[in-house]
Structure 1
């Protein structure tokens, strides 16, 4: 485990697990949202592919993302381990709602200086809506990739409940 992708839908806990793994394994962690959004008004990094290519050329890293389409294959080709947080909507939705509520109320500064807003809750791109609507599609995409012969050399650890993830972390 030297080049790790932590995958799952929005709000599942990818960043939290990646932070824990980074500290326990001593591997550098790169947050995909921070790489993707690099300016105000949720501006998208126009050098994303270059940045991800440079980071994943390193021998050790952790990235918390299935990967946006521009870099998805690059990430999966260069990873040696996939940690799949495959939790149900029943687990994810309360988490993402609590996180977004906290971020909105506290005006927490996020990637590129952006913030979640009350108006943002009405958008189909809000994390809560996104987690709900993309759950099935993201799950199928990860399933397809872990079964794909192209990515067969990847070690895949699939956790279906937070208790499973916690038990594995305790054994690490």
Structure 2
């Protein structure tokens, strides 16, 4: 399970690990967002949890996303949790580049939803840029508590504070998997 603020690189890291380790990638945003930017985890929380449960039923998968509502479910099935805890000086430029690219290209974010980044959404208080700036400190405190909680002692936890550390972690996890151990 990969988590972190918007723009940290959760999706990129998860996609890379999925390809390298032969894992199914489960993008939690793709399970959550419905056409017209309808937010399933708000509209029908149980339906969202059911989607996550079905997507993580298998043996070899990786999730990316930050949905508290399904965190216990995902973590109870995960072998490893990766927290991309980059400073804003790393994540915010990435987030700004990503949202600008999406707004310019107009590409659909999640297949079949029709949801596209629009420049007008940048003024929405829940746009990822503003959301990250408002909630980062509180979200990081929550993640620290989860990492320290004895309930999750069996899960290998990796707090990564730089892209260089992320690269080294990918190499370590790939080496573990190549040795026939569960990554």
Superposed pair shares fold, TM > 0.5: yes
Displacement of 1:30 in angstroms is 0.9
Residue 94 of structure 2 is matched in structure 1 by 95
Residue 126 of structure 2 is matched in structure 1 by 125
CA contact under 8 A between 1:83 and 1:156: conserved in structure 2?
yes
Displacement of 1:21 in angstroms is 0.3
- The answer to which of 73-82 and 147-156 deviates more is 73-82
| CA deviation profile, 1:85-112 (whole Å, cap 9, x unmatched) | 1101111111100100111111121122
- For 1:45-64, what aligned pairs fall within 5 Å after superposition? 45=40, 46=44, 47-64=47-64
Residue 36 of structure 1 is matched in structure 2 by 32
CA contact under 8 A between 2:106 and 2:117: conserved in structure 1?
yes
Return the alpha-carbon distance in structure 1 between the equivalents of residues 68 and 168 of structure 2.
32
The answer on 1:156 being equivalent to 2:157 is yes
Return the alpha-carbon distance in structure 2 between the equivalents of residues 26 and 58 of structure 1.
13
Residue 170 of structure 2 is matched in structure 1 by 169
CA RMSD of aligned residues (A): 1.4
CA contact under 8 A between 2:26 and 2:56: conserved in structure 1?
no
Return the alpha-carbon distance in structure 2 between the equivalents of residues 51 and 102 of structure 1.
29
Return the alpha-carbon distance in structure 1 between the equivalents of residues 167 and 68 of structure 2.
30
Q: Unaligned stretches of 5+ in structure 1?
A: none
Displacement of 1:169 in angstroms is 2.7
Q: What TM-score do the two structures reach when normalised by structure 1? A: 0.90
Extract structure 1 runs of 4+ deviating beyond 6 A. Answer: none
1:167/1:70 CA distance change after superposition, 3 Å: closer
Q: What TM-score do the two structures reach when normalised by structure 2? A: 0.85
Return the alpha-carbon distance in structure 1 between the equivalents of residues 134 and 121 of structure 2.
16
CA contact under 8 A between 2:2 and 2:65: conserved in structure 1?
yes
| CA deviation profile, 1:102-127 (whole Å, cap 9, x unmatched) | 11111121122201111111111111
